[in-house]
With several copies, the nearest count.
Chain A
Amino acid sequence: MRQLSWKIGGQQGEGIESTGEIFSAGFHKLGYFLNAYRHFSSRIKGGHTNIKVRISTKPIYTINDDLDILIAFDQETIDINYRELNKNGFILVDLKGSPKKPADCPARFYPIPFTKIAMNLGNVVMKNMVAIGATCAILDLQPSMFKPIIEDMFQHKGNTIIQRNVKALQEGYEYVQREIHPLQTIPLAPPKKEQKMYLTGNEAIGLGTIAAGCRLMFAYPITPASDIMEYLIKKLPKFGGTVIQTEDEIAACTMAIGANYGGVRAFTASSGPGLSLMMESIGLAGMTETPVVIVNTQRGGPSTGLPTKQEHSDVFAMIFGNHGEIPKVVIAPSTVEEAFYDTVEAFNIAEEYQIPVILLTDLQLSLGKQTTKPFKLERTEIRRGKITEEMEGEKDEKNKSYFKRYELVPSGISNRVFPGTRGGIHHVTGVEHDETGRPVESALNRKKQMDKRMTKLQTFTIQSPFVKKIYGEHPDLLLIGFNSTRGAIEEATERLISEGYVVNHLHIRLLHPFPKEEIKPYMEAAKQIIIIEQNATGQLKNLIHMHLGFFDRTFSINKYDGTPLLPNELFHRIKGMIKTKKEET
């Protein structure tokens, strides 16, 4: 097999998450490409949780709909997940609790005494290792491949624990080999050997901030953003910086603004509710032309909504949520790799244009794990924009000068200067102001300063504001998406192409300012355009309508039930909508 889909499920608190970690770490070390997604709920212990890991010999950007092996620690896991199983799939279920195979389940069904074996070895949590061992038997792999990972993971718990876990692994393996006859193994094709990283979008963002020279993060915990602060609090002190957990999101955002004003790259990260609270602060950053980067890891809304579920419903709020009008950039990466590089760019854009930049991800990208090419420091750069260093300050009492922080220059981008700099004294205010930052209410000044600010992004764009996969000049279909649906759209596209359709795919990275001129030709060329997004109102579709129209040719695929959009599902939904006849060949 070139790819395998494996899932483990049970109750929250049973160690499902770390089992998924160990399992995928093993295949990562072997050199496979992985993609993992965790289904969990908003409670600490109890409640069904599962992790699905997809293993492949080539790059993948999404989990998929199918399942080859399901490890179930309880009946609930079977009932919730068995429909995903392939005909030849396996259910390995804990014997405890007398599990039953659903009547309409074609997969193979093997109750295995996971708990019993683990208990015999001294601790019930080791049933996880037993399950990994059992999986090895089915994949015809030596369980010893997990030994170094177990050693690494349990290092701090001492040798005995390590040995017991290795034992549990072995016994799971042996049990299957011994008890299941005939055992039809499903061996994986060998992987390509090359260096890879395996990490979540949030970890990539964390790495990106460090590479960008960011030294301060201010944040308030919230799912699914908290990981970023938890990662950075371990790393930033090594670079003299830190993470401050604030009293709320308003403090987080305004502190980040204060730090940026002080001359340090600083940011905050949150999710929907936190972003709603930051709207006033974002306006302040825009008005005072203070750079600030804000990460929004989208989750299910509205309100507290579905905190542990996937959604894309904050697009308009990110672009238009603050009162009044400011220049602002919204970037939406779609892979872990993009998350890293886009984070660095977010800091560059924020400083170059002296504006708030929102890095918009979604739960699937932020918490899901992906194999990716190793990030390259050389591919990043640090561009801080116009900063005035030490100057000849007017020292003479009569002639104290103010620095023209908001000088009316044609580009709209005036020089910044950091407090502490001689000759740079100026005033900063969220009130309309003149070139030195003094509050001024005159109509003339107002218009000039407003135009100045809005000019900054008049011609703004980024390198590849969208990712494109172009398969034809006049395609039957143009698929447009953003964020983590990329993998699903790519795979659906491939299947459509294999069925003879000509399909192009644009994945938007720059949501605002919207790259309308660049996108237009692709839309004009397409017979039918399907805009794919995980929200109910079609926010990207509305954005496209607003900038470009194409009302007659645009169709929407929306999903807003909290689960990720998967390749097969998407393929079938697209097929059901195709209006154009495919090109006869």
Chain B
Amino acid sequence: MVTFKDFRNQVKPNWCPGCGDFSVQASIQRAAANLGLTPENLVIVSGIGCSGRISGYIYAYGFHGIHGRSLPIAQGLKMANRDLTVIASGGDGDGFAIGLGHTIHAIRRNMDITYIVMDNQVYGLTKGQTSPRSDSGFITQSTPTGSIDQPISPLEVALASGATFVAQSFSSNVKELTSLIEEGIRHKGFSFINVFSPCVTYNKVNTYQWFKTHLKKVSDIENYHPFDRQMAMKTVMETGGLITGLIYQNKNQLSYQDLLPDYSDQPLTKANLHLTTEEFHQLITEFM
């Protein structure tokens, strides 16, 4: 039997002690074990940021790409080998600033991959500038008098973009997070999971304590059911997005892979590259 230890490696993360990303790492490892995945069939693609380092801390294939582009890399990979479990991951700057366009287009495309954002509402690796997730008024190196931009709402944007799986969690709640990641991986389509993952060094506002007092579980909301997109949107708007759990899932929408006409059932990576003489002949005859 696989256990989460199978997904551990010998690398000591260089995150600050107490960083929220540790628990995200652990949750991915647990979810992978619970689902009985094997390390060689799991790929963690990540962006650049403190969070982006995660691909090096899990015993699985890992691709640490460039800032904001984890999703295109992950999608290209998934297209190449549909049998792999592909998890894309990165920070809130990575996914909602430089990578925002890709995030929304990946949501629209609905490939069967899982995207985990480690949302600390700040730029960690570059030493504490505002992120698109920073609250207005938030004071950072780049906004010494407080941010004046409206923060982005990941849940609203994901829902508005037609996401088929939207979840949110808090890195302290490893149990909830693990099970959401499992569900995300099981979901046949693009799964978007935003995780509040506190930066203990540069975000002194949205701390563990702050989240503990502000977050609410959707499972505690009466009559909430995550298959109603309008209800999901309404609830997100009403709560300012401070909810956790499975926010929305659409199980009916087919994934990109399943919609693609003539897309090989076998992983493309296993395909025979050589054309037959006949196939080639047919191709060139068009021009003869």
Contact = CB atoms under 8 A, between A and B. Distances in A.
Interface residues of A, number: 93
A524 to B, nearest CB: 42
B45 A258 contact: yes
A238 B41 CA distance: 27
B155 to A, nearest CB: 19
B64 A430 contact: yes
A400 B80 CA distance: 26
Contacts, number: 272
Contact of B105 (A198, A246, A258, A284): A246
Contact of A419 (B15, B61, B75, B100): B61
A198 B287 contact: yes
Interface stretch (B186-194, B209-217, B260-268): B260-268
Contact of B79 (A45, A255, A284, A428): A255
B80 A216 contact: yes
Given A195-B288, A233-B142, A273 B67 contact: yes
B235 to A, nearest CB: 28
B221 interface: no
B73 A420 contact: no
Contacts of B15: 43-45
A536 interface: no
A427 B68 CA distance: 18
B254 interface: no
Nearest to B55: A427
A237 B50 CA distance: 31
Interface in A329-367: none
B60 A425 contact: yes
Interface in A209-247: 210-213, 215-216, 218, 220-223, 226, 229-230, 233-235, 237-247
Given A203-B287, A216-B76, A262-B80, A420 B132 contact: no
A430 B65 contact: yes
A273 B68 CA distance: 12
A266 interface: yes
B98 A220 contact: yes
A254 B40 contact: no
Given A246-B105, A420-B267, A426-B61, A44 B66 contact: no
Interface string B57-87: 0011111111111001111111111011000
Contacts of A422: 40
A298 B53 CA distance: 23
A45 B40 contact: no
B80 A47 contact: no
6 contacts: A203-B287, A212-B273, A226-B129, A252-B72, A255-B79, A426-B61
Interface of B: 5-6, 8-11, 14-17, 39-41, 43, 45, 48, 50, 53, 55-56, 59-69, 72-81, 83-84, 97-98, 100-102, 105, 123-127, 129-130, 132, 141-145, 201, 260-264, 266-269, 271, 273-275, 277, 279-280, 283-284, 287-288
Rank and list the top 4 A-B pairs by shortest CB-CB distance, nearest first. A213-B273, A258-B76, A262-B80, A240-B264
